[in-house]
């Protein structure tokens, strides 16, 4: 007996996985009550199924065995066993009439008896697998493990395990669930939309790919931090990242999970909407997601580098806090001399290294720092402490009173 309290407890105390659909979960009640959610919204359908299963499990008495069989299923098993026993008894009776145990007729009856025994074992094994599958399905729904990218597999599993709620009233629909039947050889089968499907052949719903998504987000954070520290991004790294994504997203279920489970974190909602609308196929979706994720990695680095540059500008600008610190006359004269030299220097001849007096960050003291200004093509740069950053006209004017050409 599988006690519902054990299932509920496991869901509450078990390991918590990344559930990026939590924010959207607030809208489930509205969806179930008939809100204006598009009928082809894949994610909403899967969230509704999860909500239905969870509601059903929550409303069960904690001491109830939710894997018990319905009267119809019990009758199905009893009828199968009785018919098979009759077949076994008839075969045994006919075999006993034959004196030659090596005759083809005798072996034929023995095969019938063996097949009956095998069907009993097979039925017992599949019923055990079915009950375990029902427990696993309920646990995984309670834990939010199944992907919102699932198609019919999630819906069909809800039907065969007795959790169907087509009218979205928060209660399972007895008429919509599919009691099992016993097929040839003791195999379990179900009637799904008028089609007889063997339990062994049923597609199972797949899980969210939390590992890949969390890895992407963590690496993006590292790249952002690299930018804030003044580092550079390696173009070869982006190429490798793209190739790795293309390989991993060849798995259709992985692609579906990235698109439908992480719409806000990975900005895939536009892709998801067009797949639901039928205007984007899976191959094009894969290419679009790969490019989206590669561009996002470049963007987060650029944002980090922007923060670094802003801090550097603030620290290196001599007049960033006028009136609270004063250079000596000699220091002012030296800076003016360096500025004149910079304004008359031809940077086409190569970079120019010089010393300039600036305010020390965090206090009113001054210090002389060594800088190098140069250009690559039409782009100017300034190097200080081994780190190079782009030098535009406002920055050059603020730092060194340098007038760069237009």
300 and 338 share one domain: no
56 and 125 share one domain: yes
17 and 150 share one domain: yes
Between CA 278 and CA 130 the distance in angstroms is 34
379 and 289 share one domain: no
**Taking 60 as the threshold, does the pLDDT of residue 174 lie above it?**
no
Burial of 165 (0-12, 13-18, 19+ CB in 10 A): buried
At 33, is the pLDDT very low, low, confident or very high (cuts 50, 70, 90)?
very low
Residue 363 lies in a domain: yes
Residue 320 lies in a domain: no
Q: Please tell me which residue, 111 or 329, carries the higher pLDDT value.
A: 111
55 and 171 share one domain: yes
- Give the pLDDT confidence of 236-249 residue by residue, as tens digits: 999 999 999 999 99
116 and 187 share one domain: yes
Highest mean pLDDT: which of 142-151, 309-318, 385-394? 142-151
State the pLDDT at residue 332: 87
Q: What is the rounded average pLDDT of the residues 157-172?
A: 72
Residue 283 lies in a domain: yes
**Taking 80 as the threshold, does the pLDDT of residue 199 lie above it?**
yes
Average pLDDT, the chain: 81
Between CA 201 and CA 291 the distance in angstroms is 36
Residue 405 lies in a domain: no
Highest mean pLDDT: which of 71-75, 171-175, 227-231, 243-247? 243-247
Place of tokens 């969806």: 31
284 and 185 share one domain: no
Residue 366 lies in a domain: yes
Q: In angstroms, what is the C-alpha Rg of the chain?
A: 35
Residue 406 lies in a domain: no
Domain endpoint, select from 149, 180, 207: 207
178 and 288 share one domain: no
Q: What is the tally of structural domains in the chain?
A: 3
Domain endpoint, select from 266, 284, 315: 315
Between CA 333 and CA 365 the distance in angstroms is 17
Residue 152: CB atoms within 10 Å: 13
333 and 306 share one domain: no
**Taking 90 as the threshold, does the pLDDT of residue 374 lie above it?**
yes
74 and 166 share one domain: yes
179 and 267 share one domain: no
Domain that holds residue 297: 210-315
Sign of the CA dihedral with 354 first, then 398, 369, and 303 last: negative
- Percent of the chain residues topping a pLDDT of 90: 43
């Amino acid at each position: 007996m599988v006690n519902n309290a054990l299932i509920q407890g496991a869901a509450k105390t078990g390991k918590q996985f990344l559930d990026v659909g939590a924010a959207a979960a607030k809208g489930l009640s509205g969806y179930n009550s008939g809100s204006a959610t598009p009928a082809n919204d894949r994610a909403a359908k899967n969230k509704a199924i999860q909500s239905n299963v969870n509601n059903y499990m929550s409303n069960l008495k904690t001491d109830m065995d939710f894997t018990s069989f319905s009267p119809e299923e019990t009758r199905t098993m009893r009828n199968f066993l009785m018919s098979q026993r009759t077949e076994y008894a008839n075969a045994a009776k006919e075999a006993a009439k034959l004196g030659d145990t090596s005759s083809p007729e005798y072996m034929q009856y023995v095969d019938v008896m063996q097949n009956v025994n095998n069907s009993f074992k097979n039925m017992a094994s599949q019923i055990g697998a079915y009950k375990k599958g029902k427990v696993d399905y309920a646990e995984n729904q309670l834990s939010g493990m199944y992907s919102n990218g699932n198609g019919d597999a999630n819906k069909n599993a809800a039907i065969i395990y007795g959790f169907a709620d087509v009218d979205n009233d928060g209660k399972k629909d007895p008429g919509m669930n599919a009691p099992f039947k016993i097929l040839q050889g003791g195999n379990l089968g179900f009637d799904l939309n008028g089609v007889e499907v063997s339990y062994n052949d049923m597609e199972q719903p797949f899980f969210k790919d939390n590992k890949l998504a969390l890895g992407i987000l963590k690496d993006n954070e590292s790249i952002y931090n690299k930018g804030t520290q003044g580092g550079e991004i390696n173009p070869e790294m982006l190429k490798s990242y793209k190739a790795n994504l293309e390989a991993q997203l060849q798995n259709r279920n992985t692609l579906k999970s990235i698109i439908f489970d992480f719409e806000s974190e990975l900005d895939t909602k536009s892709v998801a909407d067009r797949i639901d609308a039928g205007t984007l196929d899976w191959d094009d979706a894969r290419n679009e997601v790969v490019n989206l994720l590669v561009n996002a990695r470049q963007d987060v680095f650029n944002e980090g580098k922007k923060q670094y540059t802003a801090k550097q500008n603030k620290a290196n600008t001599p007049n960033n806090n006028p009136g609270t610190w004063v250079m000596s006359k000699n220091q002012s004269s030296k800076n003016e001399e360096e500025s004149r030299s910079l304004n008359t220097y031809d940077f086409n001849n190569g970079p120019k290294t010089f010393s300039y007096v600036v305010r020390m960050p965090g206090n009113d003291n001054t210090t002389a720092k060594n800088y190098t200004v140069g250009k690559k093509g039409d782009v100017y740069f300034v190097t200080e402490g081994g780190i190079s950053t782009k030098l535009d006209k406002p920055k050059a004017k603020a730092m060194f009173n340098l007038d760069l050409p237009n």
